[in-house]
Structure 1
């Protein structure tokens, strides 16, 4: 029976908006992680890359252009997909499905986003991405801004989650501070391919405090609880994983690091938007036959602090196993790259601590979520 295993994973440091990676073209960021991923790209049959703002410098198929930027053979194809924040996690799912089905034996999955150069929302700058039928369906629904070009607001969704689960400003700020504290104590060296003199994630605030977080404004609601401090950072970065079968890995003399044990996707309310990781986790556990207690580490993307906190409340997972090295609040969230970045970081954490099962999930625009269970093979 064919399976899907990861034989290599790497990421760039995550750069701050306007920071050390902002001067690098996103195609060159993507090409950099491809070069760092494999010494010999000869086995690669396809490259699947996630990218959200596919406009300007991120248009015209980043996945294919990354292959050329990496100096890989012109015969290696590439494609680009958009499942919003989960784009590169979905790329890994598609790569796994491709090798399991036998359509190919070796596929690279990854993603890139330069939010400094292709700002969030830039792909819809001159267009209305929601037609009249969508507006008619949700007109009058709380949280839906009918007059706006993009009427679904992640920030409002984060506020709605905080209200529904009774999450106070103090709780969100405490969670956010913990994200920075954990990230500051972590060592990501082995998973990072430095570029342009940038060797470490730039967003970690080692000197932040509850007092500083408490002083921030609530931009989404005047009486709200969500701030920039309890939201993911606008960032630049890229990440990639090499996916093949156990049989092909043996033939190539490569060591499988982890098996993509389970891969699912689901959707939920598009207005609150950020709750789908909860049913995605339930779906992944049911399909895998595992329980929540079987999972040794969880990576739940910190789009906003309210998202993993609501997830914890609903799943009953051990909080000590959640985002043990911090998350996007501290490390940043380069949209199209984050899924592969999370998977890379989770895999390296599993290897460092001998954790058999890890589960990754993330909220996505449109109210969707992917969930992936990795099984360590070492």
Structure 2
């Protein structure tokens, strides 16, 4: 088996809902990062074997295989195929997994993996909104026979996790405040400079709140009546796209490429769909076991900040030092453009591995339906 290498990784800034990126067609937004990959690496896109894109709400402007539409909208070669996948919030992380697996199997040599979500145009839960005529995904007889008619929602899941793991609300507020502070520091120190592709005059992530304080956070109403999490403790709705070029050893040699990292280990798990968001715990365990690594041997972690309790429960359960987690801020500050987030986190992780000369990085994220991916990267 050949290794799979990440040659480069790029992303747009994350735009706030209704702000700088909100009017850009999703295909054009994703096409922008596709083009940037080839501008930066010098690789002829005609040599790409496949394009795998993640997108969660595949309707409206994001329908009909947005990955293919993005590739063509960017003026890239028609003979290169593309597919769009949905593993919920982990869609573009799974895109990288599929790319690496095809390369390790010897079936392909160059694969573009990425994702997009313009939530300003296709709102959260659009495809499952009964008002739009698409039906409720958890209401069938088979589902109700197994899980009853209880509320199935990520907001409830986040609250249940906080209760089950005993995560103190003040601890969550401090964690959220730190997410914004870390993101602001990363911006000020230029840590994102090598990964960002400016779009439509937007040059920096729009969600970072430099004036955040705990009193302001406390003052926000809970998302659910009598709930635990409020908007300050949840990921921000956002717009964005990201993409990575994944290559085999043969392609690296043939095209004279200099990889940033190799895809060391991949894992994916199913978990309780009622709690929804606990999957990162078993996914991380599985990835570490497959890699024969301990949590202490991982230099940097990216765990998606869907809700503050998700990351804190994961770290508590696995004994992970949060000082090594989301060191440049997470989704509470940078936003969570669903189908793009897996590739966004991986882009940030691989560039931070290079910047700090670290060896191992692990990325994981919770996903709708009770799922989670975990990826271990090794800098080369």
TM band (smaller chain):
over 0.9
* Structure 2 SS opposite 1:42: helix
1:271 aligns with 2:274: yes
May I ask how many residue pairs the two structures share in their alignment?
367
Alignment of 1:73-152 (within 5 A): 73-125=77-129, 126-128=133-135, 129-130=137-138, 131-139=140-148, 144-145=150-151, 152=152
Aligned to 2:208: 204
The change in CA–CA distance for 1:161 and 1:221 in structure 2 (over 3 A counts) is farther
Range with bigger deviation, 80-89 or 184-193: 184-193
Instruction: Indicate if the aligned counterparts of 1:51 and 1:113 stay in contact, CA closer than 8 A.
Output: yes
1:247 Cα deviation after fit: 2.3
* Structure 1 SS opposite 2:203: coil
* Structure 1 SS opposite 2:194: helix
Task: Encode CA deviations 1:62-98: one digit per residue, 9 max, x unaligned.
Answer: 1111110111101011000000000000000000011
* Structure 1 SS opposite 2:307: coil
Instruction: Indicate if the aligned counterparts of 2:109 and 2:250 stay in contact, CA closer than 8 A.
Output: no
Aligned to 1:231: 234
Structure 2: distance between partners of 1:300 and 1:354? 20
Structure 1: distance between partners of 2:119 and 2:141? 29
Structure 1: distance between partners of 2:269 and 2:62? 27
1:303 aligns with 2:306: yes
Aligned to 1:185: 185
Please, which of 70, 73, 81 is the counterpart of residue 74 of structure 2?
70
Instruction: Indicate if the aligned counterparts of 1:64 and 1:78 stay in contact, CA closer than 8 A.
Output: yes
Task: Encode CA deviations 1:110-138: one digit per residue, 9 max, x unaligned.
Answer: 00000000111112232222322012211
Aligned to 1:153: 153
Instruction: Indicate if the aligned counterparts of 1:156 and 1:221 stay in contact, CA closer than 8 A.
Output: no
Please, which of 367, 372, 375 is the counterpart of residue 372 of structure 1?
375
Taking structure 2 as the reference length, what is the TM-score of the superposition?
0.95
Instruction: Indicate if the aligned counterparts of 1:192 and 1:199 stay in contact, CA closer than 8 A.
Output: yes
* Structure 1 SS opposite 2:69: helix
Instruction: Indicate if the aligned counterparts of 1:297 and 1:358 stay in contact, CA closer than 8 A.
Output: yes
Aligned to 2:3: 3
* Structure 2 SS opposite 1:371: strand
Please, which of 320, 323, 329 is the counterpart of residue 323 of structure 2?
320
1:247 aligns with 2:250: yes
Taking structure 1 as the reference length, what is the TM-score of the superposition?
0.96
Structure 1: distance between partners of 2:176 and 2:324? 16
Structure 2: distance between partners of 1:240 and 1:67? 12
Structure 1 unaligned segments of length 5 or more: list them: 146-151
Instruction: Indicate if the aligned counterparts of 2:115 and 2:343 stay in contact, CA closer than 8 A.
Output: yes
Structure 2: distance between partners of 1:199 and 1:293? 35
1:99 Cα deviation after fit: 1.0
Range with bigger deviation, 343-352 or 213-222: 213-222
